Chain A
Amino acid sequence: MNLSDSCRMIGSPTSVRQAAQRENMQFPLSLKAFITALGCPFSKCIRIHLKVLTSPTVPLSSMLVRMRQVYQTADIGVEVVSRESLANIPNFSVLNDLNVGACQLGTPPTPQQNQLFQNRNNVEANEIVVYFVRSLVPANNGCATFPAGSPGAAVAQIASRWTTAHEVGHVLGLQHISGENTNCPPTNPNCCSTPDFTRLMTGCGTGNITGVPTIVQAEINTMRTSSLSNECRKAVA
């Protein structure tokens, strides 16, 4: 368990005292109690599990902070339910360079994705697993196609600080925004002639985002009505 796993750690790093005070928690307060106590200052929560074959170059903690910065604008909390290292386990070594095929919306996952995503380890049906691998084949920052009943995404070592938030956005039902390929010629489709790097779901590369990207109301509605977006577990009075 990690301090940053708590749903209470919102956006930019904040002190435990500040977060606990915001939640009217009683002092003195142990770290364990802070992390494990139920309750989340959002109306919806997504619960994610992090399974790491290879750590990304951008620290995981930084990706989580960025993800929460965006998701909190949708009044959605991000709770890290578990972390598991799958590094140096023989059965997983060949999945560390994960074949994801075309990785397009609607395309089925590859046999390797099916094999990796089978490893859920007590993850509940309405929870999301993010697998961190060394690379995707072909090279991509992330991929959010997943086997039916095993919602999740794969994120590569080369991912940007926003990739996890972007891929989980796909898992929650978001698509890339429209209007970024204006007047692209047939010889260069998806040319990103008019990219919008203020949006999380840009299809032109989250690595180019500056500042905190936005999600619009229609996207918020999609995220909040996803079956993977849960009521937050309430604190026991």
Chain B
Amino acid sequence: MTVTLQEVTAHLDQDETDYEAAAKLGPEALPHLLQLVEGDDPGRASKATYLAATIGGDQSLPVIEKAVVSANPVIRVAAAGALGRLQHIPAALARALLDDPDAGIRHLSLQALEIHLPAGFKVKVEQMRQHDPDGAIRAIAADLVNRLPP
């Protein structure tokens, strides 16, 4: 079954997108999502990021990669939120988002770690516990760090 761009945007244009319903479009929607995340509409781009993560699989990662390097923080927020929806956290993307200058994005990235509790992030989260300029993030990192595996 071929998925059209119009079928994808019909979901993303909704004020309250039902991502579980939209994900039934399947991986054939991903090329359109990649196009939308690179487009000039931040609403569609951020929703495309979440939908790609909800569809899941390795094929969704290029969409999220594009969102991670977006100049628009709203789209990077979507990337950080999308991490929590993936089955496995992509380490390089998570590290980039944990270093984001935007506190909200770092916060959401820590929440994604909280969901997955992946190995290899304990040192980074300990650094954030000690040095993050945002007090709320230091507190979240302190709560999380001892639950992470080495």
Q: Interface on A for B, CB 8 Å cutoff?
A: 90-91, 93-94, 96-97, 99, 102-104, 134-135, 137-143, 157-160, 163, 166-167, 186-192, 195, 203-208
Q: A93, A138, A143, A204 — which one has the most chain B CB atoms within 10 A of its CB?
A: A138
Q: List 11 A-B contacts (CB under 8 A).
A: A96-B104, A99-B81, A104-B16, A134-B74, A135-B77, A139-B50, A141-B43, A143-B16, A158-B46, A195-B10, A207-B43
B21 pairs with A135, CB closer than 8 A: no
Q: Does chain A have a CB within 8 A of B125?
A: no
Q: Does chain A have a CB within 8 A of B107?
A: yes
Contact of A142 with B50 at beta-carbon distance under 8 Å, contacts A97-B81, A188-B24 already known: no
Contact of A90 with B135 at beta-carbon distance under 8 Å, contacts A143-B16, A188-B7 already known: yes
Which residues of chain B from 68 to 102 have a CB within 8 Å of any chain A CB?
A: 73-74, 77-78, 81, 85
Which residues of chain B from 106 to 149 have a CB within 8 Å of any chain A CB?
A: 107-108, 134-137
Contacts of B135 in A (CB 8 A): 90
Q: A103, A137, A143, A204 — which one has the most chain B CB atoms within 10 A of its CB?
A: A137
Which residues of chain B from 22 to 59 have a CB within 8 Å of any chain A CB?
A: 22, 24-26, 42-43, 46-47, 49-50, 54
Q: Interface on B for A, CB 8 Å cutoff?
A: 1, 7, 10-11, 13-22, 24-26, 42-43, 46-47, 49-50, 54, 73-74, 77-78, 81, 85, 103-105, 107-108, 134-137
In angstroms, Cα B25 to Cα A97, docked, is: 27
B21 pairs with A189, CB closer than 8 A: yes
Nearest chain B residue, comparing its CB with the CB of A195: B10
Shortest C-beta distance, B27 to chain A (Å), equals 12
B16 pairs with A103, CB closer than 8 A: yes
In angstroms, Cα B19 to Cα A163, docked, is: 19
Contacts of B1 in A (CB 8 A): 187
A90 pairs with B14, CB closer than 8 A: no
In angstroms, Cα B14 to Cα A160, docked, is: 10
A157 pairs with B17, CB closer than 8 A: no
A205 pairs with B77, CB closer than 8 A: no
Nearest chain B residue, comparing its CB with the CB of A166: B15
Contacts of A139 in B (CB 8 A): 17, 43, 46-47, 49-50, 78, 81
